[in-house]
Amino acid sequence: MDPSLAALDQVRSAAIDLGMKFGPKLMVAIIIIAAGYFTARWTAGGIGRLLRPFEIEPPVRQLLLNVTRVLVLILFAIMALQNLGVELLPLIAGLGVAGAGIALAMQGVLGNVVAGLTIILTRPFRVGEYISIVKEEGQVADISLASTTLTHPDRSRVVIPNRKIVGEILHNYGRIRQMQIEVRVAYDADLNHALATIRELLQSNARVLKDPAPSIQVTQLADSSVTIGVSPWATVSDYGAAGGEIKKAIVEAFRARGIVIPPPRREVRLLGGAAPAERGAA
């Protein structure tokens, strides 16, 4: 017989023997894995229904469901490997070493995940609130396990790794913000009339919140003017627009009612006995 044909027959015989020996076990292992997949989905769905009555943040809820799926799949994978006759102890030891190496290489990612869980569980801020952190500020658009996303009025986004947030000083404005507007009037102006005019403008502006009530008071007696501090409240989304509308309305109302907003003035004294002169600032 031709040696090549003999070798081919040996290979075919070996393949048939292996198929007869491991084929049924392989089919059973595939069936076990498929059953594990559907069992994992069913188990995660059941746990999801059980968690609905509880106030759990979406990232935590999703993490619990994913962990459930993985655990069920690992259990069925172990059953499939045992059916194939694989020695599990060396495999587990190898996976442990590989896991340690992966954990060492992914320190930053794991740090973000741990910090994300800390943020989600302690709830220092929530989606929709306006915060200032690590020299960045904006409205919280999303909180995930790895990062927190802030949005700005110009529609840009800032993605901050969670490990950069935990342990830092956080300023949480909540869902409303207080504006700080300063208006200067002349010393001979009727302050009560000016205060009443500003109060009327704030009451007529739909963006200004009625509760908390805005603060309107004299804050400074400057060299050539009286400074009135105006501090109304608005939602985070209306903060920028409300500020522009209020400033424009104050200027127009003061002009219409004869309330003078004095320009900045500077007193210049000339050496050599010349009389002092006052000039408007450029």
The CATH code of the domain that includes 187 is 3.30.70.100
Our CA dihedral for 216, 221, 223, 224, rounded to 10 degrees, sits at 40
Domain extent for 130: 124-174
The residue from 77, 105, 133 where one domain ends is 105
**Is residue 99 located within the same domain as residue 11?**
yes
**Is residue 25 located within the same domain as residue 52?**
yes
The residue from 73, 105, 137 where one domain ends is 105
Q: Which residues of the chain have pLDDT under 70?
A: 1-23, 54-57, 59-60, 84-108, 272-282
- 3-class DSSP state of 142: strand
Give the CATH number, domain containing residue 159: 2.30.30.60
Read off the pTM: 0.60
Distance of CA 161 to the CA centre of its chain: 10
What is the tally of structural domains in the chain? 3
**Is residue 202 located within the same domain as residue 246?**
yes
Residue 14 neighbours by CB under 8 Å, 6+ apart? none
**Is residue 47 located within the same domain as residue 99?**
yes
* pLDDT one-digit tens code per residue, 190-220: 999 999 999 999 999 999 999 899 999 999 9
- How close are the terminal C-alpha atoms of the chain, in Å? 110
User: Quick one: pLDDT at residue 185?
Assistant: 93
In a domain, 206, yes or no: yes
User: Quick one: pLDDT at residue 68?
Assistant: 83
User: Quick one: pLDDT at residue 134?
Assistant: 78
In a domain, 280, yes or no: no
- How many whole angstroms separate alpha carbon 139 and alpha carbon 173? 9
**Is residue 146 located within the same domain as residue 204?**
no
